[in-house]
Amino acid sequence: MNSFSLLGGLAFAAVWSGQVLAAPSPAAADNSPLTLNGLSAAQLSAPVVPKAKGAHVLRAQVLLDRAHYASGEIDGAFGSNLRQAIIGFQKLRQLPLSGVVDAATWALLAADQAPILASYVLSAQDIAGPYVPVPASMAGKSKLSALGYASLLEALGERFHCSPTLLRRLNPGKTLSRVGEEILVPNVASSPLPKAAKILVDSVEGTLTLLDASGTPFAQFPASTGSSHDPLPFGQWQVRAVATRPVYQYNPKLFWDAKPGDLAAKIEAGPNNPVGAVWIELSKRHYGIHGTPEPANIGKTQSHGCIRLTNWDALAVAKSISAGVVVLLQE
């Protein structure tokens, strides 16, 4: 059985790492270990601005995730998705829309005093998997009986809303291959979302926002929203159905970039299915809101016209809506 325990909120500074050291290249910085030497309250509350990296950025990402203003894959680095999450939170709380975590934004985020990190113990089931490499081609995918995780790191990243690289940095020297191994993970546990009356997708901001019956937003997620070849179908639509663990029917005739010789294929369910862990069907034929096997690409790459979220965000949205909910797609 899995063991999951929280590290005390006030003790966070005592167990969290020091700043990421400068490195000769971004790749080196992204893979540098994070030691547990501790940071002061001032360091943990430093402004989160463009190009920032380190513990204060991770803290902001976790707090925003728990506030349901997600920045996608948590990685401890400032990016475009984090900027949009900050702006969304600032709109909600009627702050100036600076797009950075300044003192006023920190003051509201810090009202959530739950721990930022948690301790997680790897179970026999975690280690066993099974984990199967996922072929790149649709033909290769169609030969698998399930589109599960390719590795334990990928599975843990999805569970804790973070990049595999961040997990390695949080746990230097650990192989993540032994039952009973205790590791540090982002504490992304949060309350369930209330029911949404409307979904708003903005192609310019690259966000999906949930609104209540009064039109007030209460959650926001980064999204990939179409491309020049397959633009988002702007206008008002409705949710027709919600399917978790969808089976994907690949039809090359619907894709401008299908390779010559591609054949129709049935792709079984799983997080590495082309539409991820959930499919929210819209009243516009062939269009939907869905998950993805590549969470790091959300908000950074284009889609084939649909609205793509991380698997964990897509599942959260699916639980908050039902058939008939209005979906407004705008630029």
Helix (H) or strand (E) holding 4: strand 3-6
pLDDT at 309 over 80: yes
What is the per-residue pLDDT for 6?
Answer: 41
Q: What pLDDT is recorded for position 252?
A: 80
Report the distance separating Cα 194 and Cα 217, nearest Å.
11
Q: What is the per-residue burial (b if ≥16 Cβ within 10 Å, else e) of 95-118?
A: beeebbbbeebbebbeeeeebbbb
154 Cβ partners below 8 Å, 6+ apart? 131, 164
Rg of the chain over CA atoms, in angstroms? 20
Average pLDDT, integer, range 179-199: 95
**pLDDT of 158 higher than 90:** yes
Rounded-to-integer distance, Cα 257 and Cα 83, Å: 31
pLDDT digits (tens, 9 = 90+) for 63-106: 999 999 999 999 999 999 999 999 999 999 999 999 999 999 99
Exposure class string for 184-202: b at 16+ Cβ within 10 A, else e: bbbbbeeeeeeebbbbbbb
pLDDT tens sequence across 241-250: 999 999 998 8
**Dihedral-angle region of residue 148 (phi above 0 means left; psi in -120 to 50 means alpha; beta otherwise):** beta
Closest CA to 53 of 12, 23, 8: 23
Average pLDDT, rounded, for the chain: 86
pLDDT of residue 250: 85
Pick left, alpha or beta for residue 167 (phi over 0 → left; psi -120 to 50 → alpha; otherwise beta): alpha
pLDDT at 280: 97
The backbone torsions φ and ψ at residue 29, rounded to the nearest 5 degrees and listed phi first, read -65, -40
Does residue 9 carry a pLDDT above 80?
no
Is a pLDDT exceeding 70 seen at residue 26?
no
Of 3-7, 23-27, 258-262, 274-278, the one with minimum mean pLDDT is 23-27
- Of 112, 70, 72, nearest in space to 87 by CA: 70
Provide, rounded to the nearest whole percent, the portion of the chain with pLDDT above 90.
Answer: 71
Closest CA to 200 of 211, 188, 191: 211
List pLDDT tens digits, range 262-287: 788 899 999 999 999 999 999 998 89
Q: Which of residues 251 and 278 earns the better pLDDT score?
A: 278
Say which residues have a Cβ less than 8 Å from residue 114's Cβ, sequence separation at least 6.
Answer: 6, 9, 66, 187, 189
If pLDDT is split at 50, 70 and 90, which confidence band does 257 have? low
- Set out the domains of the chain in order of their start, with CATH numbers: 1-191 (1.10.101.10), 198-330 (2.40.440.10)
> What's the pLDDT band for 209 if we cut at 50, 70, 90?
very high
Q: Cα separations (Å) of 257 from 45, 140, 286, 303?
A: 46, 17, 16, 12
Stretch 200-215: mean pLDDT, rounded? 96
How many other β-carbons are positioned within 10 Å of the β-carbon of residue 178?
9
Q: By percentage, how much of the chain surpasses pLDDT 70?
A: 85
Q: Which range, of 163-167, 230-234, 320-324, averages the lowest pLDDT?
A: 230-234
Q: Give the DSSP H/E element, type plus range, for residue 218.
A: strand 217-222
Distance of CA 50 to the CA centre of its chain: 19
